[in-house]
Amino acid sequence: MGSGQVSRLFQSCAVALNSASATCPVASRQPITSRVAVARSGVFHSTVDTPYLNVYWGTGQLVTLQDAVDTSEQAFYSVLHTGASTRRYHGELVKQSFSDISGVSDARTVTGVSVDYANLNNNGAQYGWHVSLPDSGERMVTIPAVRGDLIVFNTTIPGSNGPCTGGASGWLNALSLRNGLQPSRSGSNVQQVFDYNDDGTVNASDNVNDQVVLSIRVDGEPTSPKFVGDTQFVGLGGTTTVLPTVMDFGIGGLEGRSAWYQLR
């Protein structure tokens, strides 16, 4: 890619686009209003020329009163960038799904299949994953964060009176960097990520109906995640609350934040 040239890695669209000739209808376009997060791939060895970076972002906006009542489908995406200028499409990503956990109203998990990165550049290659945000009006307007083997992101369901007003809610979400499911941690019995029962420890007792909680509902619009040690702190817009949530971030191995090179 020559100096000054920019190529599109992916187009966020509620309708699957699987070729260069496909056009996203205006009503299905998903806006991106917050920064992306980037992490090194845990599958491939990265170099400057072939970085193998997973790029993470969510879609949605919340600026006007009209936005507050918009219920267009939004999503969260992870796309592997190999350093080439090749555009990726929905058909090259695995579709995961948030699922409510039976018996509770404030916990979700994610179902789906793992991403097979092994056959890049071949037919049927998989370059990442995506998951729709299922609640009516749910969108992402905050910045995601890479922490250990997790991508942590918070989503918002605004109140009808606009941003930072009463009646809003949201979800705290934490998924595997690699495939958007629950993390697979070899040599560890701890697969949970949230202290769901709020006893100060992340362990098997945080399961609900034998399912790992990957998403917790909160009252108020959650801010971008901030961390001190093993605790995530979020402000809740429309309230005066700062919510601490203990988490288990696992061990990232080769995954995690990408390094920066200073050019001279």
Residue 27 CB burial class (10 angstroms; 0-12, 13-18, ≥19): exposed
Tens-digit pLDDT profile for residues 148-198: 999 999 999 998 766 666 678 999 999 999 999 999 887 666 789 999 999
Q: Which of 41-50, 157-166, 249-258 has the lowest mean pLDDT?
A: 249-258
Q: Which domain holds residue 210?
A: 26-252
Q: Cα separation of 163 and 68, whole Å?
A: 7
Instruction: Write out the two tokens for 202.
Output: 């992340």
Tens-digit pLDDT profile for residues 223-240: 999 999 999 999 998 778
| The predicted structure's pLDDT at residue 227 | 96
3-state secondary structure at position 173: strand
Q: Cα separation of 24 and 78, whole Å?
A: 19
Name the pLDDT band for 131 (thresholds 50, 70, 90): very high
* 19 falls within a domain: no
pLDDT over 70 at 2, yes or no: no
Would you say how long the chain is, in residues? 264
Instruction: Write out the two tokens for 182.
Output: 């629950």
Name the pLDDT band for 126 (thresholds 50, 70, 90): very high
Q: How far is CA 56 from the centre of its chain?
A: 6
Which candidate, 6, 5, 133, 148, places its Cα nearest to that of 70?
A: 133
What does the DSSP 8-state code read for residue 29? Answer: B
| The predicted structure's pLDDT at residue 148 | 93
* 169 falls within a domain: yes
* 176 falls within a domain: yes
| The predicted structure's pLDDT at residue 34 | 95
Q: How far is CA 135 from the centre of its chain?
A: 15
* 4 falls within a domain: no
Q: What are phi and psi of 205, to 5 degrees?
A: -70, -10
Q: Cα separation of 30 and 161, whole Å?
A: 22
For residue 225, CA distances in Å to 59, 178, 181 come to: 16, 19, 19
* 263 falls within a domain: no
Q: Whole-prediction pTM value?
A: 0.90
Number of domains into which the chain is organized: 1
Q: Cα separation of 133 and 14, whole Å?
A: 11
Name the pLDDT band for 120 (thresholds 50, 70, 90): confident
3-state secondary structure at position 180: coil
Tens-digit pLDDT profile for residues 8-43: 899 999 999 999 899 999 999 999 999 999 999 888
* 2 falls within a domain: no
Q: What is the mean pLDDT of residues 252-263?
A: 46
Residue 237 CB burial class (10 angstroms; 0-12, 13-18, ≥19): buried
